Amino acid sequence: MRRRNFIRTAGLSALALSRACPARSDQSNKPKRPNILFIMADDHTSQTWGCYGLRLSKHARTKNIDRIAAEGALLKNCFCTNSICVPSRGSILTGQYSHINGVKTLREGLDPKADNVAKQLQIAGYETAVIGKWHLKKQPSGFDYYNVLRGQGSYHNPTMFQTGADWLRGGRKHTGHSTDVITGQALKWLSERKAKNKPFCLMCHFKAVHEPFYSHGRYRKLYANEDLPLPKDLMEPASPKGTVIEGWPLETLKQRYLKNPRRYAPPKLDVSNLDPPAARKATYQKFMKDYLRTVAGIDENIGRLLKHLDKTGQTDNTVVIYTSDQGYFLGEHNLFDKRLMLEESLRMPFVIRYPSEIKGGTVVDDIVLNIDFAELMLDYASADIPSAMQGRSFRANLKGHTPADWRKAMYYHYWSHQKPRPSHYGIRTGRYKLIFYYGLMRDGRKDPKACWEFYDLQKDPDELTNQHANPEYKTVISRLEKQLGDLRNEFKDTANPLRSGGTRSRK
């Protein structure tokens, strides 16, 4: 795959892209191309993957996820470019930042006319399908078959919308828990697909672990008598120290549990006789047990998919990817949800297996972004890559050959805006992170210096103290500000965000 500059030409139509980078029609001289099974959950953060060895890893039931890592590769520094569900999914499909593909917030949908990785795989001769959570508002395009939840969907007896039916009114209700149902439909397609002479790309997207973290009843006894470990700063009054934003504390989740208990799995949260610190701990314990029980359902169903590949002899020639659309706070900094550029929200867990090429137990430390996923899949498919994609295939990195010019820093931009979670952009390098919460200025904060956070991840990996005002880092921060400006130019995000960005969030 030939090298290309990171700066892409934006705004080209799918037709123009195909003409500019036509897929070669003669497949006879190409090596055998692998199938691609891309599995993605919603909000399944790395703290609850056994293979990551983090705070909750030893409590997580993730043997099948861990199998993928053991037989393939694990990415330690994979990040999203906009930590919220709809935009991250848009970036994964298009290989573009949110301001280029038009999906900046939860409100926008992906234009069916826009180019995406599925369309390019079709051109390259792949049979394509997406099953499960779609979440991009508009009808899927580029897929020979789809069977998806049209919005958030339900955990119980979900209604799914299938190719050939009315996109707005043609849904069909399925019986069972959504994770089981989505896997069942994926296995059905794999068994019955018509173009078995072609390689396939199947995207299997779970609704889980999204709030309300509702597991199947068969997992309800897990962790019943356990006290799960607390984040080190769960009980801090304001965390990180010197932070300029509020975020969503566990007290917000507590109120949701109490206001609408039927929305969440039993048992109900009871804090009636608890003081505030004890109530926070009780909220955390219910949150974590609900969450981990739902994770157990994901892992079991990933096992069903892996078993199918084993039984049908497709394991060696199938790239299997499991990831999440972003990370999630599990009580760190006394927060839940995502959106922010702090590590728990920013990091996307990612494991990949391809026995024909990737050595088992590989660990990749390089910075990889969600805009890179599309180009990796196209690389495996021996397909040409549209010039408008802004990422880069990391196939060589997975084989232990990091290119000399691989990125040393990444750019992030969260566009939605609420006062507790203001719009912001920033840069993360291997050691440092600099974040500018420009949304605070839209809300009346006049001093730009009061809108920044800076962390030395080597000395403070948990981001417990904002060091932006520390004179010791003045030179480092100045250099990062320059790099941040360069990245904004490189990715064509140069408009004044105080005028063009930061749309209000409904959620």
Residue 11 has pLDDT above 90, yes or no: no
Are 427 and 346 in contact by the 8 Å Cβ rule? The answer is no
How many Å apart are CA 261 and CA 286, to the nearest integer? Answer: 12
Are 402 and 490 in contact by the 8 Å Cβ rule? The answer is no
Helix (H, G, I), strand (E, B) or coil at 454: strand
Residue 35: enclosing H or E segment and its boundaries? strand 35-41
How many Å apart are CA 68 and CA 159, to the nearest integer? Answer: 30
- Of the candidates 295, 348, 296, 359, the one whose C-alpha atom is nearest the C-alpha of residue 324 is 348
Are 179 and 208 in contact by the 8 Å Cβ rule? The answer is yes
How many Å apart are CA 135 and CA 503, to the nearest integer? Answer: 19
In the chain, what percentage of residues exceed pLDDT 70?
92
Q: What would the mean pLDDT of 93-102 be, rounded to a whole number?
A: 98
HSE at residue 278, side-chain half, CA atoms within 13 A, is 6
Q: Worst-scoring range by mean pLDDT, 63-67, 188-192, 484-488, 495-499?
A: 495-499
Helix (H, G, I), strand (E, B) or coil at 256: helix
Q: What would the mean pLDDT of 151-178 be, rounded to a whole number?
A: 95
Measured CA distances, 122 to 116, 145, 195, 305, 330 (Å): 10, 12, 12, 23, 39
Q: Which residue has the tokens 């690389």?
A: 379
How many Å apart are CA 123 and CA 258, to the nearest integer? Answer: 51
Q: What would the mean pLDDT of 184-191 be, rounded to a whole number?
A: 98
Residue 242 has pLDDT above 80, yes or no: yes
Q: Worst-scoring range by mean pLDDT, 58-72, 76-90, 235-249, 418-432?
A: 235-249
Tokens of 290: 């609900």
Are 132 and 206 in contact by the 8 Å Cβ rule? The answer is yes
Chain segment 426-463, per-residue pLDDT in tens: 999 999 999 999 999 987 777 888 999 999 999 999 99
**What average pLDDT is seen over the chain?**
92
Among the CATH numbers 3.30.1120.10, 3.30.360.10, 3.40.50.300, 3.40.50.720, which is that of 410-500?
3.30.1120.10
Q: Worst-scoring range by mean pLDDT, 29-38, 83-92, 403-412?
A: 29-38
Q: Which residue has the tokens 């439909």?
A: 185
Q: What would the mean pLDDT of 344-359 be, rounded to a whole number?
A: 98
Of the pLDDT bands very low, low, confident and very high (cuts 50, 70, 90), residue 503 is: low
Are 326 and 43 in contact by the 8 Å Cβ rule? The answer is yes
Helix (H, G, I), strand (E, B) or coil at 36: strand
Could you give the residue range(s) of every CATH 3.30.1120.10 domain in the chain? 410-500
Could you give the residue range(s) of every CATH 3.40.720.10 domain in the chain? 31-214+290-402
Check: pTM over 0.85? Answer yes or no: yes
Q: What would the mean pLDDT of 452-475 be, rounded to a whole number?
A: 97
In this predicted structure, what is the pLDDT of residue 237? 78
In this predicted structure, what is the pLDDT of residue 498? 80
Chain segment 244-274, per-residue pLDDT in tens: 999 999 999 999 999 999 999 999 999 999 9
Tokens of 313: 């002899």
Phi/psi at 309 (5° precision) = -65, -40
Of the pLDDT bands very low, low, confident and very high (cuts 50, 70, 90), residue 232 is: very high
How many Å apart are CA 149 and CA 181, to the nearest integer? Answer: 11
Tokens of 20: 């500019």
How many Å apart are CA 459 and CA 406, to the nearest integer? Answer: 24
Tokens of 325: 């659309």
Of the pLDDT bands very low, low, confident and very high (cuts 50, 70, 90), residue 412 is: very high
Of the pLDDT bands very low, low, confident and very high (cuts 50, 70, 90), residue 9 is: very low
Phi/psi at 482 (5° precision) = -65, -45
Residue 148: enclosing H or E segment and its boundaries? strand 145-149
In this predicted structure, what is the pLDDT of residue 68? 98
Chain segment 291-317, per-residue pLDDT in tens: 999 999 999 999 999 999 999 999 999
Chain segment 108-129, per-residue pLDDT in tens: 999 999 999 999 999 999 999 9
Among the CATH numbers 3.40.190.10, 3.40.50.180, 3.40.50.620, 3.40.720.10, which is that of 31-214+290-402?
3.40.720.10
Q: What would the mean pLDDT of 200-215 be, rounded to a whole number?
A: 98
Tokens of 100: 């280029």
Residues in the chain: 507
Measured CA distances, 479 to 89, 226, 343, 367, 455 (Å): 32, 47, 21, 19, 14
Are 208 and 42 in contact by the 8 Å Cβ rule? The answer is yes
Asked, as a colleague might, if the bond just before 212 is cis with ω within 30 of 0, I would say: yes
In this predicted structure, what is the pLDDT of residue 32? 83
- State the Cα angle at 502 between 500 and 506, rounded to 5°: 130
CA 484 to chain CA centroid, nearest Å: 22
In this predicted structure, what is the pLDDT of residue 12? 34
